[in-house]
Structure 1
């Protein structure tokens, strides 16, 4: 009887060792295959223009999905976040430049995978149980570097917040796309997106997630805006995010004076062009200055010059292409033209 028990334990032990060895061999083979892909077709895609389609990355994602699902199926330490992240770090090193981050959201694991920041094939992938077996539940693709933010009110994995950051411009803003992924049966779906609010996209100066609040400061495009200039009007929104709804709590403008100034500049140039003398008189109180103005002026897309006090110099060009410097001051009635001089060439 005792001999039979020892034999059974020995067989079970050998089976466990054999299974672990087989799993280890699978992982080694998978990593070798990953290295091959990184050095060949996918490596070439990374060196290209960033427009490689999602299909070009299908094999690489299949390997990552198999690695995670197999580890979850193995259970024990193999299904821990620490083990899974360590494995993903090994794959990221093999790729060279990839960022593969995994987060735990209740019973779910959420991966934020960046293979090439320029590509639209970067992915957020959600893993969990489909019935009794671990599986890939959902995959969302997007351009830029994704990051996952867990919501305080969704510790059970009912919803997660995902942000996609693009490459920074020369003046410090970058494309930003934020999504709320909500559990819908066995899948996750996009329940809200910043594209619902900003149809033409969002260029963020800064953004932050603190608890259930998201704060985003972003560019505004308006007449008089020019790329790379300081002191232009930007806007900041604060949103409260819950698993069920996203609500805007506040909105404020930063350096709102610049937009106000250029609204006046546009009114003035339009009035000059149409011969609207009453509007010109209201915006240019000095009669002598009005008489010296050319019949047509067009604002130039250049940076304004802040002068002493409340004076700002704006670049413009006359019909004969001669440049002018228009100086506006903020008076009680608003911005008014107080000086205008042609610029020597």
Structure 2
């Protein structure tokens, strides 16, 4: 072998050794993850919380190592397509895992869902710090995370939203939390969240994130609201990213089926007027003096769904009982912007 060929062979060997070492390390991690999945992750949801949390931490650490090593290798190994392919291999090793990856500016953002138990969901943010790729932040909440890229903040600062979706309620809604995450130097921080924006217990029917706008439709909890009933009042808010970088700002809101909340306010006022003997309030709610005279001295509204006469009702029947536990039906009709009692009678049994 000539000197030039020998030198070329040595150079090729030097280039191949790190790649081989990396492949060996990746294979070892995948084997460890597969063992972890079959021996501990499979039972994490039913095991004690401390052992489950430890299993999830170990799994997250293996995935962190895989991503950071690939990012450090650069070239094709740091591409989103290659990284997602590697994550798909880990997901295949544990069928209960959902592993997704997105590139947002210089940041690589991964969403890990390893199960349904607390601690199973995590959003991991990787990026350069002190000249080397590393894990910058890890967010953990209840629910399934989904990452939504957003327009960059002032100065081109990368930012994105994380939507955490809880388990379905069975009535077409689910708990929801939205975090606005932004890079700050070598750190990544949550700079805004629905939990601190007047929506701490958000149960949403629908949400949409497009560009810098977010639309949320969610349940309103008010006296008379009953889980599972149709046509109850819900609110829809529109938020936009504020120019000053503070986060999302509510720019509009409207209510769906607003009539039901107003109706229930009238029902509560009727019950209170009967109980206190407030004749003036009772006359305002029950204009017919004959009907007022037939009403029981007290009524309790039953926790049952109301019966409207249509999608945008003009009359609604409400279930109630007397102090003697006799069931009554109260029928309210619209009057201006409110409701008045039109009829009330015992239920024939």
- TM-score normalised by L of structure 1: 0.94
CA apart distance, 1:121? 3.9
In structure 1, what is the equivalent of residue 204 of structure 2?
204
CA apart distance, 1:333? 6.2
> Where does 1:1-345 land on structure 2 (aligned, <5 Å)?
3-47=2-46, 54-154=53-153, 156=156, 158-198=158-198, 200-241=200-241, 243-307=245-309, 310-332=314-336, 334-345=338-349
Q: Quick one: structure 1 residues 51 and 271, their matched pair in 2 at CA, closer, same or farther if it must change by over 3 Å?
A: farther
Q: Quick one: structure 1 residues 177 and 26, their matched pair in 2 at CA, closer, same or farther if it must change by over 3 Å?
A: same
Q: Quick one: structure 1 residues 38 and 156, their matched pair in 2 at CA, closer, same or farther if it must change by over 3 Å?
A: farther
CA contact (8 A) 1:52 1:119 kept: no
CA contact (8 A) 1:118 1:166 kept: no
CA apart distance, 1:107? 0.9
CA apart distance, 1:156? 5.0
2-structure distance, mates of 1:168, 1:317: 33
- TM-score normalised by L of structure 2: 0.93
Greater mean alpha carbon deviation, residues 20-29 or residues 261-270: 20-29
CA contact (8 A) 2:194 2:200 kept: no
CA apart distance, 1:188? 0.5
CA apart distance, 1:17? 2.1
1-structure distance, mates of 2:257, 2:19: 62
CA contact (8 A) 1:108 1:157 kept: no
1-structure distance, mates of 2:52, 2:181: 23
2-structure distance, mates of 1:170, 1:110: 31
Q: Quick one: structure 1 residues 57 and 220, their matched pair in 2 at CA, closer, same or farther if it must change by over 3 Å?
A: same
Give the root-mean-square deviation of aligned CA atoms: 2.0
Q: Describe the SS at the equivalent of 1:142.
A: coil
CA contact (8 A) 1:50 1:116 kept: no
Unaligned runs of 5+ in 1: none
Unaligned runs of 5+ in 2: none
